[in-house]
Amino acid sequence: MPAAVNWHDRAAALAFDGRILINGQRRSSASGESFDKHSPIDGRLLGAVARGGAADVDDAVASARAAFDDGRWAGKPPAVRKRLMLRWADKILAAKDELALLETLDMGKPIQYSLAVDVPSAARCIAWYAEAVDKVYDEIAPTGSNALALIVREPMGVVGAIVPWNYPMIMAAWKLGPAIAAGNSVVLKPSEKSPYTAMRLAELAVEAGIPPGVFNVVPGYGHEAGEALALHMDVDAIGFTGSTRTGRRMLEYSGRSNLKRVYNELGGKSAFVVFDDFADLGRAARTVAGSMFFNQGESCNAPSRILVHGSIADEFTALLAAETPKYPPGDPLEPGTELGALVDETQLRTVLGYIQAGRDEGAQLVVGGRQVRQDSGGFYVEPTVFAGVANGMKIAREEIFGPVTAVIPFADEAEAIRLANNSSYGLQASVWSDNINRAHRVARALRAGTVHVNQYDEDDITVPFGGYKQSGNGRDKSLHAFDKYTELKTTWVRIDKA
């Protein structure tokens, strides 16, 4: 048996390079400024990260524009782009341990999941779009015989990608895969809370043979590098994932600049609806716990509103309460840890503030609710379940983005649908019923981009991901994501009679 990896030792030997990457070259910010990045695991200093600003964004966009205009990437046959991107995906997998460790130290998720989920998912996403790009055909319109109308998809040009910290590599890959496969050049602005893997992904792209300038990274703060990118007059589209608050700004930036396309993937408050005709309540409770406490609850699609028929609410709450302690917060570098650290002290305060709000508004705190592991120097909160929650309470309306869920009783099917849809968000939902008609009926009535029936875990790059209402617009993943990063062009050709 191979010796178990000691991730603490590996972490101590890891190199952190927080510099900008433009045109394949690492460099400091134009201002010379940087900021210190600490790990949420134990507060250790990871290193200095370049504080990218408008001048750096200008350089990155100029590099991306030059790469696009001279055709070094967009001009390559799709089969060649495919080959180079597949090589890139292989390099990501080959660097699995390093990337997983960077991700875990940067934002606090357990190493076992960085290894098993984040790195392979990012690589699979890049490989999937690579494989797709020489298999999607354009169209010929059914016009009269005197003309030919060709409808082709063309890359947009320069795409700005602005991503959050909860799944830094996966969220970046969801933009990079379709945007780069389609022939665009990209400037990526990672979150200031999780910048490290982005620059490594870009270095690996260059090593794989993707030309310098096609994929540039400018780390920095949202209101500096992010704003400069979203306001830039030479950026054709923004692929944004983050909070609804920042998503609103993206639309404003577009309106104030060049009307660039804006695709927002935003927050969620997903409803998990359990009817009294569903027999296996234990499986439903296990699924809530597994999905809700995964990634410390820092998931846009976390099932954070559990709507349960009143007649089974107590039984279901007891089952969920029994599952919850199976996710004790622990050291993310230990292989068995299920629940890691929250991303930073601000997020810790936010989550604890919501727990207090739940108490203040009269919800019943069933299990959890406390900050733990303070001695570690990191930011840990117990997995937490509230019961007897009303849909109007703050903990039922606002995205907490931590390991806190709320059980809300309902009286009948009509009320379940009304409560589930009574949210400004519409990212995901789930219905649990052994009545096939009810399951389909409710699935159709739920206003969400993805609806699960009797499960919550299925996910694949082959299906679109995105939300209704204030959860965003456009879709990541699947072939539909090409819509975001391509323009449709019609070319009319006259055909003269003989």
Q: Which residues are catalytic?
A: 265, 300
Binding of ligand NAD at residue 223 (CB under 6 A)?
yes
Q: In Å, how far are 33, 47, 395 from 21, measured between CA atoms? A: 15, 16, 40
Binding of ligand NAD at residue 265 (CB under 6 A)?
yes
**CB under 6 A: which stretch of 20-28, 63-71, 202-210, 218-226 binds ligand NAD?**
218-226
Residues in CB range of 154: below 8 A, 6 or more apart: 183, 486, 487, 489
Find the binding residues for ligand NAD in span 79-108 (CB under 6 A).
Answer: none
Q: How far is the CB of 159 from ligand NAD (least distance, A)?
A: 15
Binding of ligand NAD at residue 268 (CB under 6 A)?
yes
Q: How far is the CB of 483 from ligand NAD (least distance, A)?
A: 16
* Residue (183 or 219) nearer to ligand NAD, CB: 219
Binding of ligand NAD at residue 246 (CB under 6 A)?
yes
* Residue (239 or 330) nearer to ligand NAD, CB: 239
Binding of ligand NAD at residue 191 (CB under 6 A)?
yes
Find the binding residues for ligand NAD in span 379-418 (CB under 6 A).
Answer: 399, 401
Sign, Cα dihedral of 415, 297, 316, 272: positive
- Residue-by-residue DSSP string for 208-263: HTPPTTSEEE----IIIIIHHHHH-TT--EEEEES-HHHHHHHHHHHHHTT--EEE
Give the interface size with ligand NAD as a residue count (CB under 6 A): 31
Binding of ligand NAD at residue 332 (CB under 6 A)?
no
Binding residue for ligand NAD, selected from 84, 85, 122, 171, defined by CB under 6 A: 171
Q: In Å, how far are 224, 244, 256, 263, 455 from 228, measured between CA atoms? A: 6, 19, 12, 17, 41
Binding residue for ligand NAD, selected from 249, 260, 305, 447, defined by CB under 6 A: 249
Binding of ligand NAD at residue 166 (CB under 6 A)?
yes
Binding residue for ligand NAD, selected from 20, 46, 201, 230, defined by CB under 6 A: 230
CA–CA gap between residue 109 and residue 123 (Å, rounded):
18
| CA-wise closest residue to 36 among 16, 54, 22, 20 | 16
Neighbours of 238 (CB within 10 A): 27
Instruction: Decide: 140 and 150 in contact? Cβ < 8 Å.
Output: yes
Q: In Å, how far are 102, 339, 343, 346, 357 from 381, measured between CA atoms? A: 22, 9, 11, 13, 15
Binding residue for ligand NAD, selected from 117, 130, 266, 366, defined by CB under 6 A: 266
Query: Any idea which residue has 């991730």 for tokens?
Result: 7
Residues lying near ligand NAD in the complex (CB under 6 A) are found at 162-166, 171, 189, 191-192, 222-223, 226-227, 230, 241-243, 246, 249, 265-268, 300, 399, 401, 427, 465, 467, 471-472
